[in-house]
Chains A and B, each alone.
Chain A
Amino acid sequence: MNIFNKLQNIDRRVIYAILLVVLVIPLLRPIGIPLSVNETTKTIYNIIEDLDPATDVVLLSFDYSPGGSPDVHPQAVVIAEHLMRRGIKWVGVSFWDAGPMYAEQIMKYYEAQGAMYGVDFVNLGYMAGGETAIKNFGDNPRGAFSNDFRGNSIDSLPVMAGINNITDFAYTIDFVSGNPGFQEWVRQVQGPHGIKYGVGIVTVSVPQVMPFLQAGQVQGLLQGLRGAAEYEMLLGSPGAGAAKMDAQSMGHMVIILFILVGNVAFFMDKKKDKK
């Protein structure tokens, strides 16, 4: 057994250990690798900057699971921060069962700082039914929920005053980690009602959004954890997203290294066998 053969058959625990070390070190001691900002992130930022705090209400749809939350929840946190800084009211809704809990996490944080539930933001809660529920909500947002997630009547909430149609929301941002997600929103709400619609999505699904972005159906895109980090840079408040980018960078480099070493070992071993 030559060295290249041994390299190919290395114990997978060695691979796991290398990756673990490479991910943990930058988390404990950040390197501070500079980060540029994508145009798709700037689009969302500029749209929110152009909103009028006196009249505009934004809809945030929390459509992600605990599995997708490390990639997407930092996006929701930083968008909420931008909205709160600008004094823009927002409404949270979810078509994934865990979504309302992530919305509550964010709202409780701002309530502790003096924000008022019902006046500054509202959590409508979860609606079962996937694409059917999204259509139902898009056709009649007020009728879809009689009470919010905390049991309050919709009619008693100042944020919901004036929201009778889906087009009454100035901007909708959908935080997505799977299905139902942005495709269902485009099919059932953005297309039929022509709303302004942005997406924050897990990195692995970014290629799927590109056709919708190019067609103008999606206006603005946060691309995974990097999107959250970029937005934090735009706000001037580096947070969870920026802190994890160094670890993500090193993780990518290690994976590339594994691919290269594995292929070199494979071809050199093959060459030796031929001889």
Chain B
Amino acid sequence: MRREIPLAITFVVGMTILMSYFFAGTIPGTAWNLKNLAGDITGWGVLVSAFAVLLASVNLVRIHGAAISRKRKGWYNSGILIATMVAFALVGILRKHNPANTGINDLFQNMFNNVLSPLGAAMFALLAFYIASASYRAFRARSLEASILLAAAVLVMLGRAPIGELMWGQFPVISKWLLDIPNMAGQRAIMIGAAIGGFATSMRILLGLERGHLGGE
């Protein structure tokens, strides 16, 4: 029953939402409207996602708490993580329950503006340096395909940067052509392939042929 019940729930819920796109009426023999039922189910999906955030937080505390208590290498980083998580959570919860308190609102906003946002931006900004190093060391025209890729990349970069347009007015035209024609064709092909693959996988999950989401074998 451990597998059968989740499979049955997956099938019934999935089919209800799928059928609601094709049929507007009520389920025969009942007063349940398919569209209303599907709407309720998607609402439950939002609640489940919120619980998933809570579960993730509990798991983080468990893993990093263990790292601190066992004094593993770099345990102080785990301490900083838990401390900042608790600080943000506390201030956020206080803000939620005291919406009129401007002090707490400003504190939460300042914590976000001056800590989380700049740190998050800085983490992604580091990528620029890795890309620079990779472009020097690894981007080699070793084959015809690699040469075409490199040439396209250089042309698109020159087309997109204002300095490229200043150097030669045709760089933006070439860049636009690359994005509008070869790129469009490739993107469409990938999207259609992914959509067909996603549909096939979804049907396998709905019909219980794919059981990876249940865990175990």
Contacts and interface: CB of A to CB of B under 8 A. Distances in A.
Interface of A: 8, 10, 12, 15-16, 18-20, 23, 33-36, 65-70, 98, 101, 104-105, 108, 127-130, 132-133, 135-136, 139-140, 150-152, 203, 206-208, 210-211, 214, 223, 226, 245-246, 248-256, 258-259, 261-263, 266
Given A16-B133, A211-B191, 13 more contacts: A15-B129, A19-B128, A69-B120, A70-B125, A133-B45, A133-B49, A150-B105, A253-B163, A256-B154, A256-B158, A258-B135, A263-B139, A263-B141
Nearest to B120: A66
The A interface, classified by DSSP as helix, strand, loop or mixed, is helix
A127 B46 contact: yes
Interface in B105-162: 105, 109, 112-113, 116-121, 123-125, 128-129, 131-133, 135-137, 139-141, 150, 153-154, 157-158, 160-162
Q: Interface residues of B toward A: which range?
A: 35 or more
Contacts, number: 156
Contacts of A207: 179, 183, 187
Secondary structure of the B side of the interface?
helix
12 contacts: A34-B162, A36-B172, A98-B112, A98-B116, A101-B112, A101-B117, A130-B49, A136-B45, A151-B96, A249-B164, A256-B158, A262-B137
A273 B10 CA distance: 63
Residue among B112, B120, B162 with the highest chain A CB neighbour number at 10 A = B162
B184 A69 contact: no
B124 A67 contact: yes
Interface-central residue, B96, B137, B161, B188, by most chain A CB under 10 Å = B161
Given A101-B112, A104-B109, A139 B133 contact: no
Interface string B33-76: 00000010011011011101100000000000000000000000
Given A206-B179, A207-B187, A255-B132, A136 B46 contact: yes
B165 interface: yes
B137 A8 contact: yes
Nearest to B140: A266
B42 A132 contact: yes
Contacts of A101: 109, 112-113, 117
Contacts of B117: 66, 69, 98, 101
A35 B124 CA distance: 25
A66 B122 CA distance: 9
A81 to B, nearest CB: 19
A101 B105 CA distance: 11
